[in-house]
Structure 1
Amino acid sequence: MKRLGAFLALTVCLWLVTGGFGADLEGVKAIIELTEKEGIKIWTDKGCYETGEYMTIYFKAEHSGYLTVYDFMPDGSTAILFPNAYYQNNYIKGGVEYQLPAPGDPFKFKVVPPSGFGQGDREILWAVITEEEIGLPDPKGYSQKSLAYSIKATLEDLPEDIWWASDMHEFAYGPCEEEEARKEWTFMVYLNADDSFLSQVASDDFNEIEEGVCKVETYMDVIVLWDGLGTHHPTGKRYHVQCDQTSSLAHYTEGETVWSVGEVDMGSPKTLKEFVNWATSEFPAKHYALVIWDHGSGWKKAPAFVRGVSFDQTNNSGLTMKELRSALSEVPHLDIVGFDACLMQMIEVGYEIKDYADFLVGSEEIEGGDGWDYVRILSALKGMRTPDPGNFIKAMISGNAGTPAIKTISALKLTGFRRLAERVSKLAEKLISNYDEDAILSARKKVQKFYYDSYVDLRHFAELIRDNVHSSSVQAAARDVISAFDSALVSNWNKGGRWKDAKGLSIFLPDPDQVPSWYSGYTNANLQFVQDTKWKEFLEKFIGH
């Protein structure tokens, strides 16, 4: 990207520019995703630019600090956009939105793709802020990927008491397709009421959704696939939910606001995939959220009718984590995946779908039959200034906090799950090599547990290990888990009392004396988390299997 100033060519004024090492933007992106940490946001005024258009960059940090903005280009070159010759002091104040260039600045960012690049090619902006001035690596002498690794290592080596954050933004080169008029959101609810109990209460939640739509219909389409059982909505229908504040359903017209699809297997990945692809095709939007409404049992695979999530009584089926991943891998990328279902806020669940959505919302504990309060959620969203993903997540948390059915609810960034899993794996390795059975058993006894005794709070367990195991390497590994978890956490609420130590994400850790029979399903073949980490090896040593 050439940057021509109003008075000077900014390309010659950038602090550091390097090129000629060969591009690896996908490799860079993967490294940045491992390093992203909440606290700074960077964005541009558009997502795609025609050649010669001017670009404006925006950024805002939660806390004051020293900001560096790297620009990774598709020809292999890298530049530092901030600080620069016009802004040599890179200290910014927390809570303030900055614009670059600011009105009156003697330079502009003019988008001109490097030679040989054009439509569809992209640049990556990486914003990194630290509360102290630490001297981040400059691009000179680095390939793009080695530079990203060096920045990552520098940040991860900082003392725990030095705050830092990072965020990534991409933009594309034109010619840009004209964007059709789209609403901000398509909110999809996969309402599986093919169950003797839930079929009787599903209409209450559908009525809540109808009432909530009245609050947000100007910028959100709410699409529901509802399949019931017996006399309660016995076959599947897709709804474009209409505003209605009565206790009965709104009026729906076949082929316009409701589409009958017959009996569907809600425990099949094919049904989920087809619903999401249909909804996003018929109701395209800037953002997509999916909530799976039904029973849930975390990663649990067997027996068939109480496995994973979305149990279908008619077909005696349910989605395993592998099937959930398969379905979401074949739909457009989602901003939010939520589970209005029991026990789904697990690292094993989030890790399975980390590549297909940005945020995970759900409960570590079982939910009451009323489930989520959709009127409160959508009413809370209406009251926020902008309906962006962050605010929708806040609405999901605040709309459910304190309701009778919800004991715990949290939201996490799925982009942080790869790093979190790496840290959990390292902790497992250290626990094996520095095995302290008494301390681990003590932590297992004290840790926050949920409906399934073998599901325990991950952060609380790491805290107990940090405080009770004497090995310094184990303590360091536990601190790293806590740090990675805190970076991924967006919001957490619990009811207190017996749930006071529910920090937002659970993990499978059975009692050695009461290992559930379904432990046999905790395998490489069924769960990517097991395949990619050493946690299963630690469990085998711990429970003696």
Structure 2
Amino acid sequence: MSAKKLFWDEAGCCLMGSLEASYEVKDNCEVYVASESTGYGTDWYGMIDDLCDLLDNNTTMSTIDIGEKIVNLICNNPNEFKDIMTISAIRTDKLNKLVENIEELSSYLIENEESCYHKFLSARNQTKDYYFVNNTNFFSPYKFGYSYLLDLYDFVEQYLKIESEQPIQQILKKIKYNLSETIISECHGINQTGSHGLSIFYSTNDMLSTYSNYKLEFTQDTQWDDFLGNHKEKTKSSSSIYKYLLTYFNCFNFVV
């Protein structure tokens, strides 16, 4: 097995189990192993020798099998961080189709912004997420002003529960199917319920401009960042209305 065929995020970088990160290296490896959550270095704490032995002693094993074995080793690692662990192995040859599906979804959401906004937001608020940036806005009942990675499979499942329109249902079902084809193996601790192995960026703050300006392959091949930009503006408008109403009603003191 040549070194370039498997990309294992052995440096312990947080939040690298994303569609954006895996798509960026898809041409340089066959299998991508990383974590959706923060604190990834703790997932394989105390077992680096076992992981190195696996790579050294199985040079004829397929990269898919190696990826699955790495996930199993980390999943069965009995350290104190087991409950918050997430780990997955991704087939990079399946990513193109999945990204095409995301582009379909992005395009549909842009074209049908008014009818999709509240359903999208409702699905998002029920989705397993991994928080990493806080641009505080405490007034909103929704998660305005934050940046997250959303578990993509969980998001699709939540959206399918509330979406009745056939065109977008079909797109979501294609994403769900191609996710099952892409994720070789996944494991997570009991405190990471809703994790399925691959996440996608979501933001309603200024972090979105940084995301777009990085010119990742994913943002160049999809309109996801364009959709998020539209979504951000609509969300800011809704948040402003909510804050106005909250301030207005707080001006009155009612005595019962």
Give, in whole Å, the separation in 2 of the partners of 1:368 and 1:419: 27
Q: Can you list the C-alpha shifts for 1:509-528, whole angstroms capped at 9, x where unaligned?
A: 12x4xx2x332212265211
- For 1:362, the aligned partner's letter is A
**1:502 maps to 2:180:** no
Report the equivalent of 1:287: 2
Report the equivalent of 1:377: 51
Instruction: Give the direction of change, closer, same or farther, for the CA distance of 1:371–1:537 in structure 2 (3 Å limit).
Output: same
Report the equivalent of 1:539: 228
Report the equivalent of 2:7: 337
Note if contact 2:94-2:178 (Cα within 8 Å) is conserved in structure 1: yes
Note if contact 1:287-1:335 (Cα within 8 Å) is conserved in structure 2: yes
- For 1:410, the aligned partner's letter is S
- For 1:464, the aligned partner's letter is Q
3-state DSSP of counterpart to 2:2: strand
3-state DSSP of counterpart to 2:123: helix
With the length of structure 2 as denominator, give the TM-score of the two structures: 0.74
Note if contact 1:347-1:506 (Cα within 8 Å) is conserved in structure 2: yes
Give, in whole Å, the separation in 2 of the partners of 1:350 and 1:367: 18
**1:455 maps to 2:129:** no
**1:414 maps to 2:92:** yes
CA apart distance, 1:395: 2.4
**Where in structure 2 are the equivalents of 1:432-443 lying within 5 Å?**
432-435=110-113, 436-443=116-123
Q: Which has the higher contact order (CA 8 A, sep 6+)?
A: 2
Q: Please, which of 29, 47, 58 is the counterpart of residue 357 of structure 1?
A: 29
Give, in whole Å, the separation in 2 of the partners of 1:368 and 1:487: 24
Give, in whole Å, the separation in 2 of the partners of 1:338 and 1:368: 12
3-state DSSP of counterpart to 1:454: strand
Report the equivalent of 1:390: 64
CA apart distance, 1:476: 0.6
Q: CA RMSD in A?
A: 2.3
Report the equivalent of 2:160: 466
Give, in whole Å, the separation in 1 of the partners of 2:227 and 2:118: 15
Note if contact 1:378-1:395 (Cα within 8 Å) is conserved in structure 2: no
Instruction: Give the direction of change, closer, same or farther, for the CA distance of 1:399–1:441 in structure 2 (3 Å limit).
Output: same
CA apart distance, 1:377: 2.6
3-state DSSP of counterpart to 1:490: strand
Note if contact 1:376-1:400 (Cα within 8 Å) is conserved in structure 2: no
Give, in whole Å, the separation in 2 of the partners of 1:368 and 1:486: 23
Give, in whole Å, the separation in 1 of the partners of 2:208 and 2:184: 30
Give, in whole Å, the separation in 2 of the partners of 1:336 and 1:383: 15
- For 2:123, the aligned partner's letter is A
Report the equivalent of 1:430: 108
Report the equivalent of 2:242: none
**1:400 maps to 2:74:** yes
| Identical amino acids, percent of aligned pairs | 25
Note if contact 2:30-2:63 (Cα within 8 Å) is conserved in structure 1: no
Give, in whole Å, the separation in 2 of the partners of 1:444 and 1:412: 23
With the length of structure 1 as denominator, give the TM-score of the two structures: 0.36
Instruction: Give the direction of change, closer, same or farther, for the CA distance of 1:350–1:442 in structure 2 (3 Å limit).
Output: same
Q: Can you list the C-alpha shifts for 1:374-403, whole angstroms capped at 9, x where unaligned?
A: 233345668979533233212211111143
Structure 2 unaligned spans of 5+: 133-146, 235-256
Question: By percentage of residues, which structure has more strand?
Answer: 1
Give, in whole Å, the separation in 1 of the partners of 2:175 and 2:213: 22
Note if contact 1:341-1:371 (Cα within 8 Å) is conserved in structure 2: no
Give, in whole Å, the separation in 2 of the partners of 1:391 and 1:378: 15
3-state DSSP of counterpart to 1:456: strand
Tell me how many residue pairs correspond in the alignment: 210
Note if contact 1:447-1:464 (Cα within 8 Å) is conserved in structure 2: yes
Note if contact 1:434-1:474 (Cα within 8 Å) is conserved in structure 2: no
Q: Please, which of 126, 129, 149 is the counterpart of residue 446 of structure 1?
A: 126
**Where in structure 2 are the equivalents of 1:13-162 lying within 5 Å?**
none
- For 1:457, the aligned partner's letter is D
Report the equivalent of 1:347: 19
